[in-house]
Structure 1
Amino acid sequence: MITINNASKSFRHKQLFDDLNFELQQNSVTVLLGENGAGKSTLMNCIAGLESFSNGSCLIDGQTMTMKQLQQIIGYVPQEIALWEHLTVEQNIQFFKKLKKGSISQKQIENYCELLNLVDLKQPVEQLSGGTKRKANLLIGILHEPKLLILDEPTVGIDLKSRYDIHKLIRHLREQCTIFMTTHHLDEVEAVSDAIYIMGKDPFYEEVLKEKNQPFAKIG
């Protein structure tokens, strides 16, 4: 279980979020909703160890982790495509595998590619469609079989079929890790979420979720 205790973050005298308290249950998909600027990406960066909370803590199974420990157990897939554009998908996979300890087997990579319908492995990333880039971006983030997978808008700007393929993999991954993700697609919330949290001041998401009788919690 991942527990966020009294977490706050300020930047240049601006308070991004304050006194957040929530939990991410093991083997579940928790979706974080909120308007742009609410601090969602910053919160995820802090949990992943890429930034530090101004106050508060993130406990994993009741323990505070060092940066090295976080890198071993967390898979972080940013909204930006974090791939070498001039390399093929296969070459990206081999490059990032060398950076990760305990990388998954080639057979497991092939299984994930099949679930994602990711077939353009020998083309340079710069020549791929947006949907295929997103799939490859996700695959790179799970090469070390993370305990916690953080996804920052993993399906932004792609076609419906690619989103469906990514949803399929997310539901599969839920069986082996905890997933924390952001999205602006409400149908995505219904497709994959086990729990929903809302950040920010815009009442839109609260109103829509109430209309749909979707349970949620407001965390900031």
Structure 2
Amino acid sequence: MHTDHRPWDVLLIGGASGLGKSRAAAHLAAASGAFTVEFDDVVAALQAATTPRTHPGLHHFSVTPARGLDTERVLQLQIATAHALDEALLGVVRNRLSVDVPAIVEGDYLSPRAAARAAAEAAAQGRRVRAVFLHEGDAARISANYARREPGCGPQRERAAVSARYSSWLAAQARAHRLPVVDCLPYDTLPHRLTAAWA
């Protein structure tokens, strides 16, 4: 169902942890009547239904816990996990396109290459998948966001450092696939800037 005010059937919102994806998705869903899919739920279901032996790409962090690893190694494992989930993302998008209810899919593990594939596949069928990636490269700002969101967990500086590096990687990959990248701050104008990104 095409409408002028909503130029997408499925909207993908990617980005690293702590950037406000869920908040933005909730706002856009309320404005558009879209169904929201938290891709983290899909990831958790796949991990629960598989094992490190059968699907090693989905279990990097259960085999090698992030605690104690340096930032670069955690980043590598995060990227590997995202790529292992590419087909899962495509499956979610195909399923959402099988009904006439608009959907927003948001999560940390949406890779730009999978998003670009989903958009191209949908376009070939006359459907509209749009993708946008939130970005914040400043670890201190991400750490501050974690502190507001999870006040009982402390500053989480190492986690924020990984998130900032992952955000920069996602942004570079998104631009390489000609997908829009939007700075997550300031939050109060984020929904408007997201809408402008795919207009």
TM-score clears 0.5: no
Name the structure where helix makes up a greater proportion of residues. Answer: 2
Normalised by the size of structure 2, how large is the TM-score?
0.41
Larger Rg: 1
